[in-house]
Structure formats: structure tokens, C-alpha cells
A and B are shown apart, each in its own frame.
Chain A
Amino acid sequence: MRYEAPDSIEAAVSLLAGEAGKARILAGGTDLLVQLRLGHVEPDLVVDIKRIAATQSITEEAGGYRIGAAVSGAVLGEHDGVRALWPGVVEAVELIGSTQIQGRASIGGNLCNASPAADSVPALVAAGAVATIVGPDGRRDLPVEDVAGGPGKTVLAAAELVESILLPARPAGSGDAYLRFIPRTEMDIAVVGAGVNLTLDGAGKCSAARVALGAVAERVLLVEAAAAALIGTPVDDAALSRLAEAASAACRPIDDKRGTKDFRTRVAGVLAQRAARIALRRAGRG
């Protein structure tokens, strides 16, 4: 195995493109180093992207924030601007692992590791975040929900990498939230995760919503039917019940030691509804 730490995105892409064997990108390493140790991956080349400025910075853009793919959870959590604009995304990122893991774990890594249970991904999907991907053919933007293909798989081509993720601007009267169910209070993998992002108009009606679920399918799901249950309503109890039903209906989970299909399906509805109530509060209601 070779290790390279280029300081430009172009150099990273050409290293990846020029590698005849297997190449892996290294961000915080909290997934990759575990996989290396367990022998799940045996790369010929590891490209550390943390010396590339664009992967390490948080900048304002068009009223939103562009977050470098390798920015750690600890750094993101200390950013007052992002906390204020997208509290649901920050709370999801902060659920990842311990203080030690937060010191390294990135949203780019959480996304590209492509675990269906990745905590930040439902929150990013609900937020309508867009990944900027760089490869030999230049840059392209892809909605975050389209990055993962299935467990451990992304749609990125061999020499492509995520450079940054854009959290868009949002209208007044908006709120978002992420909740996960785990059997312990921390340091565990989500059995179900739910991210909700909504906007209320001046009359208190929901004018826009996005709902995303984690750990209930082979990848994180954007559940349009659940969002539709809120849009146009005053987000009252009836609408929240329909949201829960739609969220449960979208689940196609597996049975495993962490939870059965039935359990995951039920909990997805409950969590989506609770996350929506928190989002509602953050949008200024109640």
C-alpha cells in the first residue's frame, strides 16, 4: 500500500486516475482504518484528502453553507452559523461516535461509506443537500440521496471524489431535526433514523417538507409520500399521523440482531413524527 496526501483536488484526482490497482480515499479514517484492519479492503493506494483546502473549509454560499467533505464533526459542531441554519444536520453529525470519533469523522466519509444506517445522511437528504463531485471530467453536482447505491456502494466513478457538500439557504419559518433509535444512549448504530425538514408559511401552513429515513432499506430513503402528508396542512395531529403511516409504508428493512422488520417499520413512523414535531418547534411553532 502507498500513502499520498496531495494538497490539491486536481492532484488527488490524477493520483486516483493513474492508479492501476485499487485506490481508496481517506478522510477521517474512522470507517476506512477499521476496514483496513479487518482486511475488508486491501488498497494499493490510499489518498488522504485532508490537506486539500476545499475539503477542510466551511464557507457561506448563496445564503447557505458549503461544507468541505473532510471537515470533522467536531469542527462542524463548533460552527455557529451552520448550527443556527441547519440544527438538524448538526445534531445528526454529532451523534456519530464518541468525542474521539468526532475529532475525525466527516460528512463526506459518512456519505461515501454508504451505510444505510449512516446518521448524517437522512438529515442531509432532508435538508436537500447537494454533493459536489470532482473527477477527471471536472465537477458535477449530485443530490445527496443519489450518492449511495446500496450498502457500501456509491455511484461515484473510480477517480471521483466528493469535494464538498452544499447546505442550501432556507426560507424563514423553517426547521429541521434528526432522531435515531438505538438500544443504548450513545455509541451505537442506528436501528432507525429519521430526518425531517419543513417550512411554514405566514399562515402556519406547511409549504415545503422533506422526510428521509435511515436503516430501513438498502440505502437512505427520501420519502416523498411522507412529505406530501405534511405539505398544505397546518401540521396538526391528523397530518402527523398520515406522515407516520407514510413513513412506515416506505420501509423495506431487514431483520437482524439490532431489530426486526416489524419493529423497524413501526419505529420509523414514530420517529418521523417526533422529528417533525421538533422541526415544527424550530420553525417557530409552539
Chain B
Amino acid sequence: MTAIAVAATINGEATSFLCEAEETLLDALRDRLGLTGAKEGCGTGDCGACSVVLDGRLVCSCLVLGAEAEGREVETIEGMALGDHLHPLQQKFLDHAALQCGVCTPGFLVAAKALLDQNPSPTEEEVRFGLAGNLCRCTGYDKIVRAVMDAAESMRDGR
């Protein structure tokens, strides 16, 4: 089987990789590019642990073929912090202890950032609805929701 050569922009950098036709973007990110932040929780679109942003849209990378990324822009959790500075969402997740095992965390952060990019002042209900595609087996969600609300507030204040 011949591998497909894919050229994409990943976290702002021109990147190329080889992948098989049936290989998912999630597998290509993890196994070909060493970007292991996105996790495979289910592989069927239910858990959101594999969330990435593809051409500006939040998607499950387990439901995207690697080959589909040709010419596209992909943003992953690895691109979220600015150098040594955590993104406010990352900092608030720490402050609120919004993670335990951490498997769901990269997906939640990517999804929460996408949510706040679209709606900087969400209500609690909007946060819960917006993150309904992300499952967490540990935290019970409350701390995650609080962290996102708090991050939204501090981002609005420009802190």
C-alpha cells in the first residue's frame, strides 16, 4: 500500500507527513507527528478527547482521515500555550482542579477555546451545551464548567 503525502499547516507551521488512506487524522497527529495531546477515548465521535480545530471548525480528529488535512489548517492542544505562558483556560483548569486523570483535558481545552472564540460571554448553560461532545469520567464536570466560566471572565477583562 502506498502512503499518501499530506502537506498541512499545523499550529501555524507548514508540516508534511505520510499516512495510509484509512489512517485517521488523530493517528497521524499522534503516531506520525508526535503530537500526542489529542487522545483516543472512543474512536467513534462520542467522547471529544481527540478534539482539534480544522479550518476554524471544532471536529473530532478520530472522524477525519489524515489525507483530508491536505492544504488545511489544523490547530491542536500543542499550539494553545504561548511559549511558557499557559492559555488562560489552561491556567484556570489548574486553579479549579478541573482535571484528575487528564485524558479528557486536551479535548476540553480545545473545545472550550473554540467555544469562547465564538461566544466570549457564555452562560453556564451555553458552556454545558457547547461542551456536551466532551466526556469526562473523573471530575463530574462542575469544576470544568467553573474553570471555563472563570477563564471567560478573565479573558474578557484582558487579564
Which A residues are within 8 Å of any B CB, using their own CB? 1-3, 5, 26, 28-30, 33-34, 36-38, 46, 48, 50, 72, 74, 97-101, 103-104, 186-187
> A186 vs B46: C-alpha distance in the bound complex, in angstroms?
12
What string of 1s and 0s marks CB contacts (under 8 Å) between B21-62 and chain A?
110100000000000000000011110100100100111101
B99 on interface, CB distance cutoff 8 Å: no
Given contacts A33-B64, A98-B48, A100-B48, 8 further A-B contacts (CB under 8 A): A3-B67, A33-B45, A34-B45, A72-B57, A99-B58, A99-B130, A103-B59, A104-B57
> Do B132 and A187 have beta carbons less than 8 Å apart?
yes
> Do B67 and A104 have beta carbons less than 8 Å apart?
no
> A28 vs B68: C-alpha distance in the bound complex, in angstroms?
10
Which of A5, A28, A48, A101 gathers most chain B CB within 10 Å?
A101
Residue numbers in B under 8 Å from A72 (CB-CB): 57
Q: Measured between C-beta atoms, what is the minimum distance from A72 to chain B in Å?
A: 7
> Do A37 and B58 have beta carbons less than 8 Å apart?
no
Also in contact, A3 and B54, with CB within 8 A (given A29-B65, A33-B64): no
> Do A30 and B21 have beta carbons less than 8 Å apart?
no
Residue numbers in B under 8 Å from A29 (CB-CB): 63-65, 68
Residue numbers in B under 8 Å from A186 (CB-CB): 129, 132
Residue numbers in A under 8 Å from B46 (CB-CB): 187
Which of B21, B57, B60, B63 gathers most chain A CB within 10 Å?
B63
A26's nearest neighbour on chain B, judged by CB, is B65
> Do B57 and A74 have beta carbons less than 8 Å apart?
yes
Number of B residues with CB within 8 Å of any CB on chain A: 31
Some 13 contacts from A to B, beta carbons below 8 A apart, are A1-B22, A5-B70, A26-B68, A29-B64, A29-B68, A30-B60, A37-B44, A97-B133, A99-B114, A99-B115, A100-B63, A100-B111, A104-B59
| Partner of B64 from A2, A74, A104, A187 at Cβ < 8 Å | A104
Q: Measured between C-beta atoms, what is the minimum distance from B45 to chain A in Å?
A: 6
> Do A30 and B65 have beta carbons less than 8 Å apart?
no
Residue numbers in B under 8 Å from A100 (CB-CB): 45, 48, 51, 58-60, 63, 111, 133
> A2 vs B114: C-alpha distance in the bound complex, in angstroms?
32
> A187 vs B45: C-alpha distance in the bound complex, in angstroms?
11
Within 8 A of A (CB), among B92-117: 111, 114-115
Residue numbers in A under 8 Å from B60 (CB-CB): 30, 100-101, 104
B4 on interface, CB distance cutoff 8 Å: yes
What string of 1s and 0s marks CB contacts (under 8 Å) between B119-159 and chain A?
00000000001111110000000000000000000000000
Q: Measured between C-beta atoms, what is the minimum distance from A45 to chain B in Å?
A: 9
Q: Measured between C-beta atoms, what is the minimum distance from A28 to chain B in Å?
A: 8
> Do A97 and B45 have beta carbons less than 8 Å apart?
yes
> Do B21 and A46 have beta carbons less than 8 Å apart?
yes
> Do B57 and A101 have beta carbons less than 8 Å apart?
no
A38's nearest neighbour on chain B, judged by CB, is B44
A32's nearest neighbour on chain B, judged by CB, is B63
> A46 vs B66: C-alpha distance in the bound complex, in angstroms?
13
Residue numbers in B under 8 Å from A50 (CB-CB): 68
> Do B65 and A33 have beta carbons less than 8 Å apart?
yes
A-B residue pairs, 4 tightest by C-beta: A98-B133, A103-B57, A3-B21, A103-B59
> A5 vs B2: C-alpha distance in the bound complex, in angstroms?
16
> A203 vs B56: C-alpha distance in the bound complex, in angstroms?
48
B68's nearest neighbour on chain A, judged by CB, is A48
Which of B45, B57, B115 gathers most chain A CB within 10 Å?
B45
Q: Measured between C-beta atoms, what is the minimum distance from A182 to chain B in Å?
A: 12
Which of A28, A46, A98 gathers most chain B CB within 10 Å?
A98
> A99 vs B48: C-alpha distance in the bound complex, in angstroms?
10
> A111 vs B150: C-alpha distance in the bound complex, in angstroms?
41
| Partner of B111 from A2, A5, A34, A99 at Cβ < 8 Å | A99
Residue numbers in B under 8 Å from A97 (CB-CB): 45, 133
> A282 vs B46: C-alpha distance in the bound complex, in angstroms?
33
